[in-house]
Amino acid sequence: MSEILKLSKALLCDRDGERPGDVYVQDGKILYVGTEAHPFDRELDLKGLTLLPAFIDLHTHLRDPGLTYKEDMESGMRAALKGGYAHVCAMANTKPVIETPALVEANLQRARGLRLCRLTQAAAAGLGLKDETPTDRQALSRVTPMLSNDGQTIFSDEFMRALLLDSAKYGFLISTHCQPERMTVARDLALLPETHGRLHIGHISHRDTLRQIREAKARGLRFSCEVMPHHLLGHDLDYKVNPPIRSAADNAALLEGCRDGSIDCLSTDHAPHSPEDKQKGMAGISNIEYAFGIFLRLFRENGISLCRLSEMASCTPARILGRKAGLLRAGYDADLVAVDINAVSYLDPDAMISRSHNTPFGGEKLLGRIQYTIVEGEIRYA
């Protein structure tokens, strides 16, 4: 039998609550959670820390292949582990665009070799990320659960209708990029009843979008959506990101959407860029290594529980990806993060380990410090 690792003395927290207890891990899975004595081979003392399911990011840009001067798979995954993420979903807007099963599989194989984060490699829904010629969605759905033209909006109603129908037929998730946001989200929601597609609305930023989402959910439509740290924190800020930074009223509305369950997931849209590319006007923020520090601070300031944060950052993304992960339960994947929950720091862009340090949030207060990130039962960040 392989070794049993005992994670002891932490406060345990997941969607279902906070409680004391030990977590025993074997063969990459959680073996037992509780307070009763259980045999083990090795112990990691987590006294004073909070142990949560590790985070899953449904929206990451690793820039690999082809744009590795901004980030590569290894540097991006090391930044993700530092941020408490065990699983990232890499978007397809690389060079070349990820639009064939071979390109998906090449990245998956490299990720397996690295043994850092788990990887879901999204594939493009249209050749060249355009809403013209569809990719081979049947073939792609055998190697990836996610298709996305992220970075580009799908303007063609016909293309979107066919994509939603294909998602129902082949079982993949569509992650959307909606600009203009309200118009595109309204169109996609209107197509859901006739297509029964699997829709995940990417990076919502506007309070009116949230209103549309609430109304659609109240009508019984089934879909999911996500919000990014910069759309909860940033306002009146001149920094290029897509969708743009909006107002304090939007921040407050989106936080309310996190609290009341209208918004399903916390994602990052980690979008590393070199200083030269930012100067040329490219959109995006490098954030995966401190995203949790912003989420935790904002949730704490607004009286939203750590259990709700865990649900949005781990449990719900796992469910969307069809994984048995995101909860501290026997039989679930042993992807875990140990956090010093009361640690306060201030973001220093120069200290970031991502290859790119593009962020408008230097000096922002962050809450919580990641002490260990465990993936498949292995300590991969300490």
The residues near 252 (Cβ < 8 Å, ≥ 6 apart) are none
Dist. CA 103–CA 98, nearest whole Å: 6
Comparison of 177 and 200: residue with beta carbon closer to Zn ion: 177
In the complex, the smallest distance separating the C-beta of residue 203 from Zn ion, rounded to whole angstroms, is: 5
DSSP symbol at 311: I
The position carrying tokens 């991969």 is 380
Dist. CA 354–CA 350, nearest whole Å: 10
Task: Indicate the length of the chain as a whole number.
Answer: 382
Residue with the shortest CB distance to Zn ion: 177
Of the residues 264, 269, 333, 335, only one is catalytic, namely 269
In the complex, the smallest distance separating the C-beta of residue 149 from Zn ion, rounded to whole angstroms, is: 9
Dist. CA 351–CA 316, nearest whole Å: 31
Dist. CA 285–CA 240, nearest whole Å: 8
Q: Look up 269 and say whether it is catalytic.
A: yes
Comparison of 178 and 366: residue with beta carbon closer to Zn ion: 178
In the complex, the smallest distance separating the C-beta of residue 184 from Zn ion, rounded to whole angstroms, is: 11
Comparison of 177 and 297: residue with beta carbon closer to Zn ion: 177
In the complex, the smallest distance separating the C-beta of residue 53 from Zn ion, rounded to whole angstroms, is: 25
Chain positions contacting Zn ion, by CB under 5 A: 150, 177
Residues pairing with 34 in the sheet: 22
In the complex, the smallest distance separating the C-beta of residue 155 from Zn ion, rounded to whole angstroms, is: 14
Tokens of 148: 């996305």
Comparison of 7 and 125: residue with beta carbon closer to Zn ion: 125
Comparison of 6 and 203: residue with beta carbon closer to Zn ion: 203
Tokens of 341: 């929950």
Residue 83: φ, ψ to 5°: -90, 0
Which residue numbers are catalytic? 269
